Structure 1
Amino acid sequence: METLFAILIGMFFAGAVYLMLSKYTVRILLGVALLGNAVNLLLFTSGRLTREVPPIIPAGEDVLTSSAANPLPQALILTAIVISFSFFAFLLVLTYRAFQELGTDDTDEMRLAEPRNEPLPPMGY
């Protein structure tokens, strides 16, 4: 099962790198999201959660010598999900704002485009 996960993680990383090398910002965003999922799956696989290793310590067994699964990778994944979601939301807003300002999502055209000199809406305070 770990071999299957290793192949899947490799495919996720390869797809993420391929998407992030694109010149379109939407593809770059999808590559960043795929990279976050690949890292989460890598952390999950490194925790070795299998059917043979229970995630809960049986009653009457010592905490230090028990054969329960390691909860640290699961906690790291929960933290990584929150961070990757907030990073993705920030990049999505940044890409949308750049598209509004420059009128394109092609990074080559963004380098040559002039920003529109329209006044920004009032902030409200």
Structure 2
Amino acid sequence: METLLALMVGALIAAAVYLMLARNVLRFLFGLILISNAANLVIFGSGGLTPEAPPLIAYGASAPPGGVANALPQALVLTAIVIGFGLFAFALVLVYRGYQNLGTLDSEEMRIAEPRE
């Protein structure tokens, strides 16, 4: 299971780097979101993958039994997903507004502060 997760993270990072090298700002944004998702999978995998043993504490016990997944990385990933969605929505609005004002999504043509020689 960990091998499949590592391959998935590698594929996500490869696709994200490919998208982020494009001149299109929207592709860059999608690449940034893919890297965020890959980082979330790495954090999620660090807590351990145990589909047959959920991290639940039995009634009357003070700790979960041994060999269960750590719940802290799961909580961190859930928080990161919410923050990442907020960042994506804000950046998408910025890209849309930039397209409305400039008429292009090409990063080389969005040079208002640095005019061409």
What is the alpha-carbon root mean square deviation over aligned residues?
1.9
TM-score by length of structure 1 reads 0.80
Q: State TM-score, norm by structure 2.
A: 0.85
* Larger RCO, structures 1/2 (Cα 8 Å, 6+ apart): 2
Confirm or deny: 8 A CA contact 2:2 2:49 kept in the other structure: no
1:18-62 per-residue CA deviation (whole Å, 9 max, x = no partner) reads 111110011011111111211111111111131343321234444
Report percent identity of matched pairs. 55
- Please list every run of 5 or more consecutive structure 2 residues that lacks an aligned counterpart in the other structure: none
Identify unmatched segments of 5+ residues in structure 1.
Answer: 114-125
What do residues 77-115 of structure 1 show as CA deviations (whole Å, max 9, x unaligned)?
Answer: 1110111011111110111111111100001111269xx
Alignment of 1:27-38 (within 5 A): 27-38=27-38
Size of the aligned set, in residue pairs, is 112
Rg larger in structure: 1
State the match for 1:80 in structure 2.
80
CA contact (8 A) 1:56 1:69 kept: no
